[in-house]
Structure 1
Amino acid sequence: MAENNSTEHIEDEAIRHRRERRELQSTVQQLKKSINKNDKTRKKKIDSEIKALEEAFEKRWEHFNENSTITTQSNIATDSIQSNETLPETDEKQQHVSRKARRLVNKEKRQAEIDANQEVIDYDSQPEAIRSRNESLSINEQLHERGLELHSIVSDGNCLFASIVNQISDLNVRQLREQVAEYLRKHRNDYEPFIDTDYDMYCEKLAKENVWGGQIELQICAKILQRSIEIIQGNGNEPIKIGYPTSSEPPIIITYHRYLYANGEHYNSTMRTPENDDE
């Protein structure tokens, strides 16, 4: 029984590892697609954010040996054959685990094919008015499927923080900014390599001015609030997911708009539609 529990734990961990790796790959892909070819500053910032995400993933799973799950599944199959005559009941359970593993592999292959073939709109080649409209239509469609609607946030440099604060009750925008800045100061060694300007000045401006936030600030917000955050985009791909695994609260869902305003990127909040508000 103990061996079965150990095997199930390894398989569960492998499933979580593959799921998070798939989400990371999707996030990286979407971030790369958000780069304007002529915007070198944006590209540098996105490259830094991608590096931070990848390093955080590696650090979170540094204890995990993917090969051990393959060995475990192989051992299950071998033990199943050896015990065929003497332990038919155990053999049946092991065959079930083996079939479960094969189904999981097949499911992941199908999902990979879907992801690879998924049509992504090339917004950059469209006129400004059309790409803005198509982006909004895509975002609204995704929200509708979730029983959500858009809650507009003022475009004043605070939109990322305001879109999050709109869904919590115990902080205002300035307080959240100050907490994020303080977290950056306390974890300087973790984040300084990804900030391409004076680190102390960056933290100071983040706390006191209406400077834009990005992927790093979203990660820290999730840690401070102990809530997962999902960012819905207008490109038809899966939302960017910044997880907080131990949280029992539903994720904070916000929207990212690249083409809504001429002066740059923007975040809006979301809310339940009236017909779903009582659920």
Structure 2
Amino acid sequence: MLTEDNNGLDRLSLENKHRKEKKELQAQIQALKKAAKNDKTKKKELTAEIARLETEQDIRHKHEIENFRSGQSISSDISEQIEENNEKDISKNKISKAQKRRDKKIQQEREREEQIKQQEKENLHGPRNTEIQAITAKLKKRNLKIFPIPSDGDCLYKAVAHQLTIKKQCSISVDELRRKVSTYISNNKDDFLPFMSNPETCEMLTNEELNEYCDKILNTKTWGGQLEIRALSSSLKCPISVIQATGPDSIEQGTEFGDDPLIIAYHRHMYSLGEHYNSTCVDDDSDVEDRSN
């Protein structure tokens, strides 16, 4: 039998209340993001505001749970005091730039996880599955299968890191791969600038804009694409083969290095959040089928 606190709030009601408040907060956050979409200054302020709102809610929920367990209800006065004290603590703490970047990465991961959960509920017979079937068929010819990589902004780098581990017995972190890409593009600007343009002006990037681009590669979870694959291949001195559903069986980078390529899969429709990369691995089931035939 469920116990109740002084307000008659049983455990299930409290959990439902917290879930509802979390959903309401996420809706509030989405509205704030939409309002600050094209304002860089507001975006920076918004990151701190979101962290504050989530921290306050977490603290309040923890206190409500603790008071529920002890048979006490938390008064609105105490709740307001907690929020007030928390705001004072946040304003007093001087957060380093590195910590701000880490906090931002954590927040981005939370948002993407929520979006992924929603995406998984969508129609399983749409473009996503059609694409996966096409890529799976192409990989099967190579006795390979998809090795899933989380969709968190690091998918390209994690896919390449996985390939290096299984093919080269070489362990390289995502941060190190991002550093290699950022450094290579920065040191070879003339090779990359003709293929890079400002999305607003459609003009070729200036040196300053390219430096900002490289800084984002290094310090954020900005998504990697064809240019980053080229930089990865060149900095690692290793060919990379990209399998996709449509077009040629694969897109090759770094063939001049003449080595066994790292093989990754490119998905346009894996998630509604945007494009995605997976790694690949040997399909042991395929070996069994071949032997049985």
- TM-score of the superposition, structure 2-length normalised? 0.48
1:123 equivalent in structure 2: none
Contact 1:161/1:173 (8 A) holds in 2: yes
1:138 equivalent in structure 2: 134
Q: 1:193 to 1:237 in 2, by over 3 A?
A: closer
Contact 1:232/1:256 (8 A) holds in 2: yes
Structure 1 residue 267 corresponds to structure 2 residue 263: no
Please report the RMSD computed on the Cα atoms of aligned residues, expressed in angstroms: 2.0
Query: What's the secondary structure of 2:126's corresponding residue?
Result: helix
1:177 equivalent in structure 2: 178
2:246 equivalent in structure 1: 235
Contact 1:151/1:268 (8 A) holds in 2: yes
Q: How far, CA to CA, are the matches of 1:161 and 1:232 in structure 2?
A: 16
1:166 equivalent in structure 2: 162
Superposed counterparts of 1:158-237, under 5 Å: 158-168=154-164, 169-197=170-198, 198-235=209-246, 237=248
Q: Note the C-alpha offset of 1:236.
A: 5.7
Q: How far, CA to CA, are the matches of 2:254 and 2:186 in structure 1?
A: 22
Q: Note the C-alpha offset of 1:265.
A: 0.3
Contact 1:226/1:244 (8 A) holds in 2: no
Q: How far, CA to CA, are the matches of 2:262 and 2:147 in structure 1?
A: 13
Q: How far, CA to CA, are the matches of 1:243 and 1:184 in structure 2?
A: 15
Q: How far, CA to CA, are the matches of 2:181 and 2:257 in structure 1?
A: 20
Contact 2:138/2:249 (8 A) holds in 1: no
Which deviations, in whole Å up to 9, do the C-alpha atoms of 1:103-126 show, x marking residues without a partner?
Answer: xxxxxxxxxxxxxxxxxxxxxxxx
For structure 2, the residue ranges without an aligned partner over 5 or more in a row are 1-122, 165-169, 199-208, 288-293
Q: Percent identity?
A: 33
Query: What's the secondary structure of 1:245's corresponding residue?
Result: helix
How many residue pairs get aligned? The number is: 150
Based on CA coordinates, which of the two structures has the bigger radius of gyration?
2
Q: Note the C-alpha offset of 1:244.
A: 2.9
Query: What's the secondary structure of 2:257's corresponding residue?
Result: coil
Q: How far, CA to CA, are the matches of 2:271 and 2:137 in structure 1?
A: 20
2:63 equivalent in structure 1: none
For structure 1, the residue ranges without an aligned partner over 5 or more in a row are 1-126
Contact 1:227/1:252 (8 A) holds in 2: yes
Given residue 266 of structure 1, which amino acid in structure 2 is its aligned partner? H
Q: Note the C-alpha offset of 1:202.
A: 0.3
Larger RCO, structure (CA 8 Å, separation 6 or more): 1
1:246 equivalent in structure 2: 257
Given residue 162 of structure 2, which amino acid in structure 1 is its aligned partner? N
Contact 1:140/1:149 (8 A) holds in 2: yes
Q: Note the C-alpha offset of 1:166.
A: 0.5
Q: 1:222 to 1:237 in 2, by over 3 A?
A: same
Q: Note the C-alpha offset of 1:170.
A: 3.2
Q: How far, CA to CA, are the matches of 1:224 and 1:188 in structure 2?
A: 14
